[in-house]
Chains A and B, each alone.
Chain A
Amino acid sequence: MIDVKRIEEVMRIAVEHSSADQLEVLASAKETALTRFSNNHIHQNVSETNMGLSIRAAVGQRLGYASTNRLDADSVKAMVDRATEMAAHRPPDDRFTSLPSPKATRKRDLVALSTVDCSPERRARQVEQLIRIAEAGELTAAGAFSTGYNIIGIANTLGVLATTVVSDASLKTVMMAETSSGYGSAIAVDVDDIDVEKIASEAAEKARISIDPIDIEPGPYTVILEPDAVADMVSFMAFAGFGALSLQEGRSFMKERLGQEIVSPLISIWDDAFDDHTIGLPFDFEGVPKQKVSFIENGVAKGVCYDTYTAAKEGVESTGHGLPAPNIHGPLPLNLIVGAGNSSLNDMVNGSERAILVTRFHYTNLEDPIKTTLTGMTRDGTFLIENGEIRSGIKNLRFTQSILEALSRVEQVSNERQMKDAFLGTIYVPALKIREFNFTGATQF
């Protein structure tokens, strides 16, 4: 295992070598492995050991960037010089004020040695357990089982110095029958917390009960979105509008609506890297301690998250949501949480006269970031509910739907939530029951 001391040493060399007015060093190390399976056997099995160093140099108000994964002392110094040289060649940025000053950072490592030490054989044995469940149900399993750890270190010439270690293990599987499929997934800090049998059984059951799906006409339907589908939708929402840069540039749906009710009062969304149900770093990629930020509280737009640059523009403090520099997206939340309700998934199904139950979405994409128009497909378990029961699987549908409008029509929120691996970090979400969800097309399976 690459240790924290190595990261600290690299950062020290960079900071001490700096001739810039200010210098920031982001150093990282990782060892990751992923066992991939399909057709009930392992077909890809990989691991990667890597380190990285990103330099942000400020010469007056001129900023330059350089990065490398060569971390011998000479290479580190050369990158510091390169970033400084890049800064000298560019025009000044009058909106840059300073790199962040040090603040008290809550020390937290989220690391499990069982994950760090997980061998290829252990991953293979757990995949084997999953495949046996698939075979028992005459199903074909595909999926990925990954384990690994990251060390992140931030330092700057103003005195910021922070390091953390985080491990994660993730298992996901699609199980397929002739005409159907089902999905199961889990992510955890400790590989021992991945319940292989539970995930495999959920996926197998979804595939079993959606065999021979029926056609259904697209149109507006009441939907029950399971946590994977909610995670996808809320992640796109966050990307489109929860960061300060999108608000400052006028492309966020939050603009001119802070303090107003923008979705159902049943919906609250916030970011909290220290919540036990997320895998979060204690500081952002500028070394600023992570703050809890409320975006939507009981349906009302409350605020956005900031990095140093966007905060300076408004004269406020960074909330600790800076991404690695250079970053064109601005600050973004990586540990989203959607508040729980008081229904169970069963309540939602039992109380539905006619509805569609969606396991997850596929290939979602924003067509309009302000109207939050999202399109995508359902996948791996889409069901017709009639008179409070699952009647049958249905062929997958395409939706074209404003996220804001969907969240304005939420009828029920589940009390149980799940942590999901989303494209913006991890997200902890409930299931949602939403009326008049707009399905605009269908496919052939």
Chain B
Amino acid sequence: MKELAFLALDVAKAYGATYADIRIIERQNEAIIIKNGRVEELGASTNYGFGIRVIADGAWGFAGSFLVERGEIERIARLAVETAKASALIKHKNVTLAPAPIITDSFTSPVQKDPFDVALQDKLAVLSRAEEVIRKTPGVSIASASMEMARHKKIFASLEGSYIEQEMTECGAGIHAIAISGNDIQERSYPNSHGGDSATAGYEFIESLMLGEHAAQIAEEAVQLLTAKECPSGEMTIILDGSQLALQVHESCGHPVELDRVLGMEASFAGTSFLTLDKLDKLRYGSPIVNINADATIPGALGTFAYDDEGIPAQRFDIVKDGMFKGYLTSRETAPILEQTSNGCMRADGWGRLPLIRMTNINLLPGNSSLAEMIDGVKDGVYLSTNRSWSIDDKRLNFQFATEIGWEIKNGKLGAVIKNPNYTGLTPEFWNSCDAIAGQDEWRVWGLANCGKGEPMQVAHVAHGAAPARFRNVKVGVGR
């Protein structure tokens, strides 16, 4: 394989590339979904191919193919260079890359229990047990349980001399209950919505979720929501659970600090960012207790790796420190604008896609409060849990999230369940209204396996550490 990788680089260079890299990736995947008592999906897939990225005439070109053969590698290398030369017809200046270390290394993510060695019947049994509990709960309309496991074997080689092999194993699972009565549809999920939770780990992660033990609770809550009262409307104090905060961090901090987005490279798709370069080190992004970092080194987290897709080592750095905006996610192309080197955030969705700046693990760091203490400090508010819907404007300012469930808080006590909760706000105002964050004991990392970006669309696996936090004067019950 090494020979084929070097062949690609040699051909690209011969045709005029001044920089080239190749990624050869093999992905193995297994997915199971059980819904309403029947196995909805039970499938295995493999995907294999390579992508070559070059700079020629000072501009980028990229081409990829499924056929990992000598002749095709030569064709694709030539096509990548031809494409770069077409890009160069409309350029303002030559692409320059920040320096990168030359690395020869290999990395395998730790796995205690290989998910592909676990018997299919055992996996089905885990899901069936949880799904059955949900399905047999009176009032539940739709019950489902799912798990997915994947292994990526990735080779990166560059004309500069790096050669890196990485093997990453990921596992995830979740359960879901839907209750319907007339026009009222309510849902509850565990451990999180949108497929559950995932990690860069082996089957031990799925076992640790103990899906069966949580099935009854989410089923009963889904049914309970049908007769719950509507979320109140107005400005009030809200407390968000860690899973919802994870998505709040994702949309209102993770995306706007992607430096390619800030520089307009995503303008025609999901948009730009309010965190323009003039705001670095100057904008009070949040209250002084808000600390957010990027950390691609957290053991087992879904956004963890050893090297990004430019061969840059995984790193940890501040994004928001004591409420002040401190840093962007960068690449070798964008980092020089800040007079920096890349902080290692370039990743691609497989062999056929170009690496883009992607979140790694973007974390709201723990504070010194607790959920109980935060509730105790609320006279009139709501506690909201588990994302149901999300939306944010094309500069990442105005957001609106709906959650699956909420609870009233009255005079420091958690009260009745409320349904159809949603809340809205403007990013800096919202984070500046944060007056308490729970501590390390309630902090955990949430995997998010559906982060979309780019054209053609790419899906990245990222994660967010968060503990429950409290925000004052937030508009809830929107559109009632």
Binding site for B on A (CB under 8 A): 32-51, 63-70, 82-83, 86-87, 89-91, 93, 95, 119-121, 123-125, 127-128, 131, 140, 142-144, 146, 172-174, 176, 249-251, 253, 326, 328, 362-371, 373, 375-377, 379, 396, 398, 400-401, 438, 440-445
Contacts and interface: CB of A to CB of B under 8 A. Distances in A.
B265 A43 contact: yes
B2 interface: no
Which of A124, A140, A144, A367 has the most chain B CB atoms inside 10 A of its CB? A367
Contacts of A51: 66
B479 A438 contact: yes
Interface in B190-211: none
Chain A contact residues, majority secondary structure: strand
Given A68-B46, A120-B83, A398-B393, A91 B456 contact: no
A49 B67 contact: yes
A41 to B, nearest CB: 5
Contacts of B236: none
A41 B393 CA distance: 25
Contact of A440 (B62, B141, B478): B478
A328 B41 contact: yes
Contact of B86 (A39, A119, A370, A398): A119
A34 B353 CA distance: 11
Interface string B377-395: 0000000000011111111
B474 interface: no
A362 B328 CA distance: 24
A442 B398 contact: yes
Interface residues of B, number: 79
Contact of B66 (A44, A69, A87, A125): A69
A131 B237 CA distance: 48
Contact of A144 (B40, B120, B426, B455): B455
B265 A46 contact: no
26 contacts: A39-B263, A42-B86, A44-B62, A46-B63, A63-B39, A63-B42, A64-B42, A65-B42, A66-B44, A89-B124, A119-B86, A143-B268, A253-B183, A326-B40, A363-B270, A363-B391, A368-B420, A370-B183, A375-B391, A376-B391, A377-B398, A379-B394, A398-B393, A400-B479, A438-B479, A445-B395
Nearest to A71: B66
B167 to A, nearest CB: 19
A69 B47 contact: yes
Interface of B: 33, 35, 38-49, 59-67, 76, 79, 82-87, 89-92, 120-121, 124, 141-142, 178, 180, 183-185, 263-271, 274, 352-354, 388-395, 397-398, 400, 402, 420, 422, 424, 426, 455-456, 475, 478-479
A370 B185 contact: yes
Contacts of B400: 375, 398, 400, 440-441
A213 B45 CA distance: 50
Given A46-B353, A121-B89, A443 B426 contact: yes
Given A86-B42, A367-B389, A440-B478, A32 B86 contact: no
Q: Which 4 A-B pairs have the closest CB atoms?
A: A400-B479, A65-B43, A120-B86, A142-B267
B198 to A, nearest CB: 17
Given A37-B90, A44-B60, A93-B39, A362 B393 contact: yes
Contacts of A40: 90, 92
Contacts of A369: 185
